[in-house]
Structure 1
C-alpha cells in the first residue's frame, strides 16, 4: 500500500503532467488559429489570382477579328490561312506562258568584238568582212553617279533705255548650291514607301553614288517634299468625301515613344493617311 507521502508525490507528478499537457494543448490551439488565418489569406489570394488568370485569358482570346482591337494588337493569336491546298505542284504550271527576258531591237549601246588575226596561219583579218555575227544582249543598270548641272542666266542692259534685265532661273533652282528634284523624289520614295531610315538611307546613297548626304539634309528633303505635296492633300480629301464608296481602317504605332493612331480612308485611286493622338471621332 502507498504511504501518504508517496501518494502526495504521485499526485504532484500527475498535476505536473496535466499542466504540461494543458500548455501543449494551448500551443496547438494557437498554431491551429495561425494556420486557419493563413489559409484564409491564401484562399483570398487564390481567388484574386484566378480572376486575374481569367482576365488575361479573355484578353488573349480577343483579336482584330472578334473585337474592336486593331490588327497590330494581335500578338498571341496565330492567323490561320483561308487558302485551301490546290494539289498543284510548286512553280510554273503546264500551259502557263511565262515572261522571258527577250532581246530588244534598239539597244542603248553596241560593243563589237572583232576578229583581227587568224589563229591558224597568223594572217591579218582586219579587212575581211564577217559572214556571220552572233548577238547577245545584257540588261544591266547604268553607272550610278551624281551629276552637277550649272545654270547660268544672262543679265543685260538695254543700249536704248538702259533697262537692266535678266533671264529667269527654272522654278526649282532657288539657291547657289542645292540638290535637284529627282534626287529629292528618290529620297522621299525610299524613306516613305520603302520605309528606309535616314541613317541607312545616307549609307545607301553614299554606297551607290559615292556622295555623302547627312541625315539632317535628308530630313529637310523629306520636309520639302511634303510641303510640295500639300496642295494635293486637299484634292485627295475632297475626292474621298465625294466618293460613293469609301474604305476606312485604322492601325496603331508609336511616335516618340507615345502610342498614336493612324486612321486610313481610301478608294481604288486615292488614299489618305494621317496620325492622331486619339482614335475617336475627332481623329476620323
Structure 2
C-alpha cells in the first residue's frame, strides 16, 4: 500500500560491532514490511440533542429539528440495517448465526426478531428501486428469462428472472407458467427479443420476438449422443461451428452466409427426422426434439443475423444460481414475504455488481434513501 494508515519505525541505536551510538547517523537503506489487519470494531452510540428555546421577546417556543432518519428515542441506524441485510441476504447467514456473529464481532446483543425486523425494513427501503430495474429491462433490445423451483413454507414455488448484462429482476410466485409472468408484469409489456429455453409459456408473448437457448439444446443433444444417435453429433458440431463463425464476424453473419448455414441446419434435421421415423420402437423424445428445431427454426437461428442476440441463455441461469445456493446453505423460506425480500435484495445486489459498484457502500446509500439510478450513475 502506497499510503499505509500507520508507520512503525524500528531504529538502530548502537553498533553491535564496536558499541558506538548510531542515533544521529542517517540510514542508507530502509527495509519495508507491511502488515494488513482489521482494527477493533464496536457499535458507536450517537446521541442527538434537540434544543428547545423560548423567545425572550415574544415568548414563542422554538425547537430544532432532528435528522429525518432519527425518528425514535432509541433506534438502529441505516448502516446497521445494511449490515443485517448484507449478511443475511448476500452472505446467506441465518438469523440465529447472524445474531451470534454480531455479538462476537461488536459485543452487542441483538435478538433474531430484531434482525428480522431490520431486514424487513431494508426490503421496504429497497423495493421502490425495482421499478427502475423494470424500466431498464423494458427498454433493452434483449431480455433473458428463466425460472427455477424452490420451496416456500414446504410447498413448491418458483423464482422467475428477467435480466440483461446490466440489470436483474427476480420475483417469486406460486406458479411456473403464464399466470406468474403476467402477475410479475414485465413480459406482457416487453417488445424486444426474448431469450429463453423451449418452455411453452414464453412464446405466448407474441409482441416480442424470440430466440432459443442453445446451451439447453447442447445438453439435450449430449443425451441423444449417449443413446447412439449420430445425427445428434452432427447437430452439436453444427451449433458450435455456427457460434464460432458468428463470433469471428463480430456478432452477426451476412445474409448470404446466414442462408448457407440455414441450409446445413435444414439438411441435418431432415436426415435426422427420416432416420428417426423409420426406427422401431419410435424414439419419441428425439423425434420431438428434431421437430421442435424444425418448427422453431427462426428462433433457433436468430443469433446468426442479429448482433444483440446471444448464442445461449447463460445470463439468466447465472442470475438464478444464488437461489439454489441459498437453499443449499440456509434452507428454504418459511413465508412468501421472506422469499420476496430475498429476491428484491438479490436483484438490487446483482444489478450493483453488474455495474461494478461496491455492494456494501451502495447498500448503505440505498438504505439512507438514495435511489438506485443515482447510485449507479456515480463514479
The bucket for the TM-score relative to the shorter chain is 0.5 to 0.7
Deviates more, 1:155-164 or 1:226-235: 155-164
SS of alignment partner, residue 153 of structure 1 = coil
Distance in 2 between the 1:260 and 1:125 partners?
Answer: 76
SS of alignment partner, residue 179 of structure 2 = coil
Per-residue CA shift, 1:68-97, capped at 9, x if unaligned? xxxxxxxxxxxxxxxxxxxxxxxxxxxxxx
Distance in 1 between the 2:95 and 2:72 partners?
Answer: 24
Matched, 1:108 2:12: no
SS of alignment partner, residue 217 of structure 1 = helix
Determine which of 232, 240, 252 is the counterpart of 2:137. 240
Q: What's 2:81 paired with?
A: 184
The within-5 A match list for 1:263-274 is 263-274=160-171
Aligned pair count reads: 181
Distance in 1 between the 2:70 and 2:158 partners?
Answer: 38
Q: What's 1:201 paired with?
A: 98
Distance in 2 between the 1:115 and 1:181 partners?
Answer: 49
Q: What's 1:259 paired with?
A: 156
State TM-score, norm by structure 2: 0.44
Per-residue CA shift, 1:76-135, capped at 9, x if unaligned? xxxxxxxxxxxxxxxxxxxxxxxxxxxx33211112223445555666655555444322
Q: Return 5+ residue gaps in structure 2 as ranges.
A: 182-379
* Greater helix fraction, Structure 1 or Structure 2: 2
Q: What's 1:216 paired with?
A: 113
Per-residue CA shift, 1:203-255, capped at 9, x if unaligned? 12222222221111110110000111121122222322333211111011111
Distance in 1 between the 2:6 and 2:121 partners?
Answer: 37
The within-5 A match list for 1:1-284 is 104-117=1-14, 119=16, 126=23, 129-284=26-181
Distance in 1 between the 2:48 and 2:12 partners?
Answer: 46
**Kindly tell me: are residues 120 and 210 of structure 1, through their superposed partners in 2, closer, same or farther at Cα, counting changes over 3 Å?**
farther
Instruction: Give the aligned CA root-mean-square deviation in angstroms.
Output: 2.1
The structure that has the greater radius of gyration is: 1
**Kindly tell me: are residues 114 and 162 of structure 1, through their superposed partners in 2, closer, same or farther at Cα, counting changes over 3 Å?**
farther
SS of alignment partner, residue 211 of structure 1 = coil
**Kindly tell me: are residues 121 and 159 of structure 1, through their superposed partners in 2, closer, same or farther at Cα, counting changes over 3 Å?**
farther
Q: Return 5+ residue gaps in structure 1 as ranges.
A: 1-103
Q: What's 2:271 paired with?
A: none
Distance in 2 between the 1:174 and 1:114 partners?
Answer: 53
Distance in 2 between the 1:109 and 1:155 partners?
Answer: 43
SS of alignment partner, residue 182 of structure 1 = helix
Distance in 1 between the 2:62 and 2:46 partners?
Answer: 23
State TM-score, norm by structure 1: 0.58
SS of alignment partner, residue 107 of structure 1 = coil
Q: Which has the higher contact order (CA 8 A, sep 6+)?
A: 2
